[in-house]
Chains A and B, each alone.
Chain A
Amino acid sequence: MVDDVFDEVGLKVENLHASYGSVEVLRGLDFEVPAKGVSVILGANGAGKTTTLRAICNMCDTTGSVVLGDEDISRTGTAEIVRKGMAHVPQGRGTFPELSTLDNLMVGAYTRKDNEVKDDVDRWFEIFPRLAERHAQMAGSLSGGEQQMLAVARALMCRPRLLLLDEPSLGLAPLIIEDLFERFITLNKETGLTMLIVEQNANLALDMADYGYVIESGEIALHGSADQLKNDPAVQEAYLGA
């Protein structure tokens, strides 16, 4: 149904530094997001998870290299990076509260000139039927879970090759989170869309991910396959509450 939509592309980050003013938040990160896979970044508050996503999209002062596919995008502007196929669902979702659900999706397709936009709207409405039911409703009146689905669907409207998700579980009830993550897995399995997810909810994140990184104080402290991390005593103690 949706298999032909996305290209397969990975991301490679080397020696990434980022700072806000004189405060250095990232101190030389190296990591890889394999094409078609789901990678997850774990870490405590203030470890630099959100900044990592912002740095990849060039939304803060950075040095180091960020390579999308085989193209270096570390000096590319944010809007241009979006055009190259990287979509970012920010923390707190960032939907347009006084635009209808449908209009939110249409803004996601703002840069597209092809005539398949309507088809894509139908496609994501099929995958997220709740959004279809509420297509004329203002986004601000949707529930938190629905807004998160809308934010993801809106990001998918620009036909990304790589989807960055910043704490999609934030502020949602546990049942809703599970439902949402199952949808992410389905999306990844059905389309092969590469995903990089930042999460505090380590249990769920490691269940769905192929690969994981743990950030501490702006550095990669641990990395490995999701199963390896789940069984790592340090991770269990710090993040899984075992």
Chain B
Amino acid sequence: MTSIAPQRFSRLGVFGVALALGGLAIIPFVTSTTGLRQASQIIISVLAVLGVNVATGYGGMISLGHGVFIGVGAFATGYYVDGLGLPWLLAIALGAATAGLSGALVGLPALRIKGIHLALVTLGLAIVFQPLSKRFPKFSGGVSGKGIEAEFVAPSWWPGDTRMATAVYRYLFCIVIVGLALWATWNLVNSRFGRSMRAIRDNDTAAAVYGVDLISARLQTFAVSAGLAGLCGALQVVLVPFVSQEKFTPQQSLVIYATAVIGGLGTIWGSVLGVVARTAVGAAGEAAAGVDGLGPIGEVFDLLDEPAFVFGVGLILLTFLFPRGLAGIKRPKRISN
């Protein structure tokens, strides 16, 4: 009889994970506290992309507004740790849960509308979020934002309490949380619930015929998706004890969506690859900004001084070269039926 073994990591996957962990282990030795914080911020952005991936890649519901859930997670965590004086770990968990709850509310329209219309609703939400959050200074600090008094420091058993030691602790904390989130999400999408989620994405009528409850499945999917983005927001507060609506622009939401697509929707590793590619393209833009002395054609290349230009072109190229996303290269092409 054919063996129906559960999905396993490929050799390439194991190699990739080993390579990534090796790279992550080196970073603390070669950078400053600032560099380490920036690396941590890139690492936690995987969570938001993973969130989009769950909703869009696995659930088939487009979200162009996941920056909102990062914002809710950040504001809520700041409030729990400062306003309510909760311990950090609890505040982070509750912050993510609050974002998840808000995601379920936002998911309500997703029960009735699909595709491009849902995309517009979530984009509208992303646009509304900034002016709206200014009106709630208790959580957001109003227009200018607010500092968080409580500081996320290493426990007493951690060797050293210098700034560098604290930065390393936060860095490792973020890696562990992101690793756990990737593992948990991988298990979720391969569970019975994950299967029903993907079945709805492919053909909701057929899924309903086999007894899948479309309403609760869609709401749960959106809640998990928003919770992951909220976790990203909570960890932002861990790294920088300051919250402000300024960060949660509609453009940020769009970039998160683009990153999920570039990495490959419907694959867990795609979320990681997408962030790697986005970071590389962004860094290329920053590096190109310093290039000078190109002579007569310098006028044209002035554009390279604009990081946004290089970033945008990078997005376009990646989309053309890898239409299924970086992690989707090896997937078989779909033959229409």
Query: Could you list which residues of chain A lie within 8 angstroms of chain B, going by C-beta atoms?
Result: 57, 78-79, 82-83, 88, 90, 92-99, 102-103, 106-108, 110-111, 118, 121-122, 125-126, 132-133, 135, 137-138, 140-144, 147, 154, 158
Q: Is the Cβ of A99 less than 8 Å from the Cβ of B202?
A: yes
Residues of B within 8 A of A137 (CB): 332
- Interface positions, chain B 1-44, Cβ under 8 Å from A, are 1-2, 4
Of the stretches B73-81, B204-212, B238-246, B278-286, the one at the interface is B204-212
Q: Is the Cβ of B4 less than 8 Å from the Cβ of A121?
A: yes
Q: Is the Cβ of B335 less than 8 Å from the Cβ of A79?
A: no
**Can you list 20 contacts pairing A with B, beta carbon distance less than 8 Å?**
A78-B208, A82-B209, A83-B211, A93-B337, A96-B199, A97-B202, A98-B201, A98-B202, A99-B198, A102-B4, A103-B195, A103-B198, A107-B196, A107-B212, A118-B4, A133-B2, A138-B332, A140-B334, A140-B337, A154-B210
Query: Could you list which residues of chain B lie within 8 angstroms of chain A, going by C-beta atoms?
Result: 1-2, 4, 192, 195-196, 198-199, 201-203, 205-212, 266, 331-337
Classify the interface of chain B: helix, strand, loop or mixed. Answer: loop
Residues of B within 8 A of A122 (CB): 1
A92-B337, A133-B2, A140-B335 known; A79+B195 contact, CB < 8 A: no
Q: Is the Cβ of B206 less than 8 Å from the Cβ of A144?
A: no
CA distance A78 to B333 in the complex (A): 33
Residues of B within 8 A of A147 (CB): 337
Q: Is the Cβ of B4 less than 8 Å from the Cβ of A98?
A: no
A147: nearest chain-B partner, CB-CB: B337
Q: Is the Cβ of B1 less than 8 Å from the Cβ of A96?
A: no
Q: Is the Cβ of B2 less than 8 Å from the Cβ of A125?
A: yes
Residues of A within 8 A of B199 (CB): 96, 99, 103, 107
Q: Is the Cβ of A108 less than 8 Å from the Cβ of B210?
A: yes
B335: nearest chain-A partner, CB-CB: A141
Residues of A within 8 A of B2 (CB): 125, 132-133, 135
CA distance A140 to B212 in the complex (A): 21
Residues of B within 8 A of A142 (CB): 335
How many A-B pairs have beta carbons closer than 8 Å: the answer is: 92
Residues of A within 8 A of B205 (CB): 90, 94
Q: Is the Cβ of B209 less than 8 Å from the Cβ of A141?
A: no
Q: Is the Cβ of A96 less than 8 Å from the Cβ of B211?
A: no
A92: nearest chain-B partner, CB-CB: B337
Q: Is the Cβ of A107 less than 8 Å from the Cβ of B335?
A: no
Residues of B within 8 A of A90 (CB): 205-206, 209
CA distance A102 to B195 in the complex (A): 11
Residues of A within 8 A of B192 (CB): 106, 110
Q: Is the Cβ of B334 less than 8 Å from the Cβ of A97?
A: yes
* Cβ-closest 5 pairs across A and B: A111-B211, A96-B202, A140-B334, A132-B2, A94-B206
Q: Is the Cβ of B334 less than 8 Å from the Cβ of A107?
A: no
CA distance A140 to B332 in the complex (A): 9
B195, B198, B203, B333: the one within 8 Å of A141 (CB):
B333
Residues of A within 8 A of B198 (CB): 96, 98-99, 103
Extra 19 A-B pairs, beta carbons < 8 Å, given A95-B337, A107-B199, A154-B210: A79-B209, A83-B211, A88-B209, A90-B205, A95-B203, A96-B203, A97-B202, A97-B203, A97-B334, A98-B198, A99-B199, A107-B210, A110-B195, A110-B212, A125-B2, A126-B1, A135-B4, A140-B337, A158-B210
Residues of B within 8 A of A98 (CB): 198, 201-202, 266, 334
Quote the shortest CB–CB distance from B200 to chain A (angstroms). Answer: 9
CA distance A92 to B196 in the complex (A): 20
CA distance A201 to B211 in the complex (A): 31
Q: Is the Cβ of A141 less than 8 Å from the Cβ of B337?
A: no
B332: nearest chain-A partner, CB-CB: A141
Identify which of A92, A97, A107 gathers the most chain B CB atoms within 10 Å of its CB: A107
A82, A92, A94, A125: the one within 8 Å of B211 (CB):
A82
Residues of B within 8 A of A96 (CB): 198-199, 202-203, 206-207
Quote the shortest CB–CB distance from A71 to chain B (angstroms). Answer: 18
Q: Is the Cβ of B196 less than 8 Å from the Cβ of A110?
A: yes
Residues of B within 8 A of A97 (CB): 202-203, 334, 337
A122: nearest chain-B partner, CB-CB: B1
A106: nearest chain-B partner, CB-CB: B195
CA distance A158 to B206 in the complex (A): 13
CA distance A229 to B184 in the complex (A): 59
CA distance A143 to B4 in the complex (A): 21
CA distance A179 to B1 in the complex (A): 22
CA distance A107 to B199 in the complex (A): 7
Residues of A within 8 A of B1 (CB): 122, 125-126, 132
B214: nearest chain-A partner, CB-CB: A79
Residues of B within 8 A of A144 (CB): 337
Q: Is the Cβ of A111 less than 8 Å from the Cβ of B210?
A: yes
